[in-house]
Amino acid sequence: MILVDVHAHLDHERFKNDLDEVIERAKQAGVKAIITSGVNSATNRLILKIAEKYDIVKASFGLYPIDALAKELELTSGFVRDIKEIDVDSELEWIKENKDKCIAIGECGLDYHWITGKEKEQQMIFQKVIDTVEKINKPIIVHSRKAELDAVEMLESSKLKKIVMHCFSAKKSLIKRAADNGWSFSVPPIITRLQHFQTLVEIVNINQLLTETDAPYLSPFPGERNESAFVAETIKKIAEIKRMTEEDVAGNIYMNYTNVFL
């Protein structure tokens, strides 16, 4: 089977000691491409190095709302990742200069779950990202937690066509609306445990579905670190829901990947 993971965080410290093995296991499982996403200046440079080292890894430069607002931020409790402040304008300049080294832009978007009371500021930053992506003409990988409607409306007002909604947790009508726009949806392996993503797969046409891991997060196996080889779990679940063979699902999703990213 030919597999693809369109969103992972391979720079994460939980991969520091065994990334070679993680990549090897992905290859053994049939993974032909892993898109690893930065979230701030530091991780954008790290993922570029990782993409240069491993042939199946592609870089996606990101600008995460939490890092972009780091200076003025009060996070809701529970957020665990290390936050690195970003100078938004100079990072977007760097992204423009290095556009030929990346396959996409993201992770970027809006997050009203971890950040409260800074909606306007987040939207201003996301708009700057959208403007940049319009200029460099790349696919965009969008995070939109508890901010799905605002994210959809901002993207609808843009000229962007190659839009991937990552881990999209909107209600059915908004999933339909985004799907009618022709956008793609990347589904994590935690679909085996979360009804919401199963519903999304029911609603969205197979030609608009992609597989991702968000590794090390969102593992299909409770308490375990997620990794790219586990996209096979997502394929299994999609095959069940769509009543297709796993081979057909995998082949379709790989074709979707080439249509959006290559």
- Residues binding Zn ion (CB under 5 A): 107, 214
Instruction: For the CB of residue 64, give the shortest distance to Zn ion in the complex, in Å.
Output: 8
Q: At closest approach, how far in Å is the CB of 98 from Zn ion?
A: 20
Cβ at position 248, least distance to Zn ion in Å: 28
- Report, in Å, the least distance between residue 34 CB and Zn ion: 13
User: What is the smallest separation between the CB atom of 212 and Zn ion, expressed in angstroms?
Assistant: 8
Positions of E strands within the chain: 3-8, 31-37, 57-63, 104-111, 140-145, 163-166, 184-187, 209-211
Q: Of 63 and 252, which has the nearer Cβ to Zn ion?
A: 63
CB-based contacts of 95: which residues, under 8 Å, 6+ apart? 44, 61, 63, 102, 105, 132, 136
Would you mind telling me the total number of residues written for the chain in this entry?
Answer: 262
Cβ closest to Zn ion, residue 36 vs residue 208: 36
Please count the CA atoms within 13 angstroms of the CA of 232 that sit on its side-chain side.
14
Nearer to Zn ion, 46 or 252 (CB): 46
Closest approach, Cβ 211 to Zn ion, in A, equals 14
Encoded tokens for 237: 């679940």
Give the whole-angstrom CA distance, residue 210 versus residue 254. 8
Give bridge partners of residue 33 from the DSSP assignment: 4
Is the CB of 7 or the CB of 252 nearer to Zn ion?
7
Task: For Zn ion, give the closer residue by CB, 94 or 217.
Answer: 217
Q: Which residue is nearest to Zn ion (CB)?
A: 214
Residue 210's φ and ψ, nearest 5 degrees, are -130, 160
188: left (phi over 0), alpha (psi -120 to 50) or beta: beta
- CA nearest to 79, candidates 115, 107, 108, 125: 115
Cβ-based nearer residue to Zn ion, 214 or 233: 214
